[in-house]
Amino acid sequence: MTTAKTAVSEANQRYFKAPVFAVAPMIDWTDRHCRYFHRQISRNALLYTEMVVADAIIHGPRERLLSFDGTEHPVALQLGGSDPTKLAEAVRIAEPYGYDEINLNVGCPSDRVQSGTFGACLMLTPETVAECVAAMKKVANVPVTVKCRIGVDEQEPEEALPTLMTRVIDAGADAIWIHARKAWLKGLSPKENREIPPLDYDIVYRMKARFPDVFIGINGGIQTLDEAEGHLAHVDGVMLGRAAYQNAAILSDIDHRFYGAPAAEPDWNALRDRMMVYAAGHIAAGGRLQHIARHMVGLFTGLPGARRYRQILSTDAAKPNAGPEVIAAAFAAVDFSGAAEAASA
């Protein structure tokens, strides 16, 4: 019988109300421009930052690392690290920026992360993860959550996963997101770790049955909203990563399917106009259109004109002095008559 706390924290009750649909944190992808774009398509999806290392926040360019547009809410900051003191300091520094959640990465298998003894390798030291969560909880004014794998290397997930979960729940974690694959710390690249280890959704379902009062979300290999809806019969939240990034139109049906909003056709022209205004502001501040346009390339996958749309955003947006008119030209290439079908695919 687990010794984990069964009482849901006040923060959990206030913030994590199932169902929750989230776009996964993805290094080099879910930056603030990506999140702003995604927020224009869904008002309710929970968005995550890229993983930001605690040391970078403490010693690096805080404004660049932590600032975001206020329209991105709800938005969570994902931290990387294994030193409780440093993670607590990073939480203190991030607090004025107003994130809705702080998430600890216990799932990234990259060599860069392993060299810092954090990410997925923390699955091997659940007591360290618990110490980190406890330190973060002491200073956080928002929910503190954990995103993990089901195990690493030769670990037996049926033992490793509940051990980690019990520790972090007792330390005060408000929610746990589980990528339903093992991670292999040696021999597989990060990309291979997202594809080769077999998915085991059932173990995540069993963890929800074992910890019924804890918010548990599932991640890994989920491609469609129908699949997401199926998972929500067993767990509290579902998280899509590359499927949502590479075909962002899928987000246009999130508010209706998972948050009770009235069904409505997406207003792609309004999206175009908002992104053009946002791009103009970014360029005026010294940025480049390419910083924004690269996240929009997969928006109309499967529609007539999508290939030309991608060409314009990939090529013309990268040119020196490219302006918001490139976005208008790209949208003009698309036949929107099949957009609703693409969004629900």
Enumerate the known binding-site residues: 78, 147, 179, 219-221, 241-242
Q: How many whole angstroms separate alpha carbon 30 and alpha carbon 65?
A: 12
User: 10 Å Cβ neighbour count for 337?
Assistant: 9
Going by the DSSP 8-state scheme, the letter that residue 236 receives in this structure is S
The reply to whether 108 belongs to the active site is yes
Nearest alpha-carbon partner for 165 in 222, 206, 226, 224: 206
Q: Under 8 Å CB-to-CB from 50, ≥6 apart: which residues?
A: 25, 26, 27, 28, 29, 30, 31, 78
User: What is the dihedral angle through the alpha carbons of 199, 200, 201, 206, rounded to the nearest 10 degrees?
Assistant: -160
The string of DSSP codes covering 192-206 is HHTTSSPP-HHHHHH
Enumerate the known binding-site residues for FMN: 78, 147, 179, 219-221, 241-242
SS3 category, 217: strand
CA distances from 99 to 18, 96, 140, 314 (A): 19, 8, 10, 31
108, 121, 132, 148: the catalytic one is 108
- Catalogue the active-site residues: 108
